[in-house]
């Protein structure tokens, strides 16, 4: 009986430690998202200034890397 109680206590402590670790990770992720959101207007503005089309191998224009990234970011921000 005592062994089972010890085992249960150990398991609960491990779960508490894991929950605390996940809470720290979640807090860190939330702070990173906040910093990205603050910088997003400047990022979008820069990409807009760099967006252009380039001639493809077959002569048909296609978006450059900045335009591709700009379109993707706008799509993700709108979600």
The pLDDT value given to residue 33 = 94
Q: How confident is the model over 60-74, as a mean pLDDT?
A: 94
pLDDT confidence of 59, banded at 50, 70, 90? Answer: confident
The predicted-structure confidence for 1-41, as pLDDT tens digits, reads as follows: 668 889 899 999 999 999 999 999 999 999 999 999 999 99
Handedness of CA 37, 39, 45, 49 (dihedral sign): negative
Can you tell me whether residue 64 is helix, strand or coil?
A: coil
Give the DSSP letter string of 40-62. HHHHHHHHHHH--EEE-TTS-EE
Q: Which two tokens stand for residue 50?
A: 């760099």
User: What range does the domain containing 33 cover?
Assistant: 2-78
């Amino acid at each position: 009986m005592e062994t089972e109680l010890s085992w249960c206590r150990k398991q609960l402590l491990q779960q508490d430690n894991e929950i605390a670790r996940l809470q720290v990770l979640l807090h860190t992720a939330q702070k990173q998202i906040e910093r990205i959101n603050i910088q997003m207007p400047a990022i979008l503005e820069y990409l807009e200034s760099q967006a252009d089309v380039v001639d493809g191998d077959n002569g048909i224009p296609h978006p450059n890397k900045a335009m591709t990234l700009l379109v993707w970011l706008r799509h993700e921000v709108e979600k």
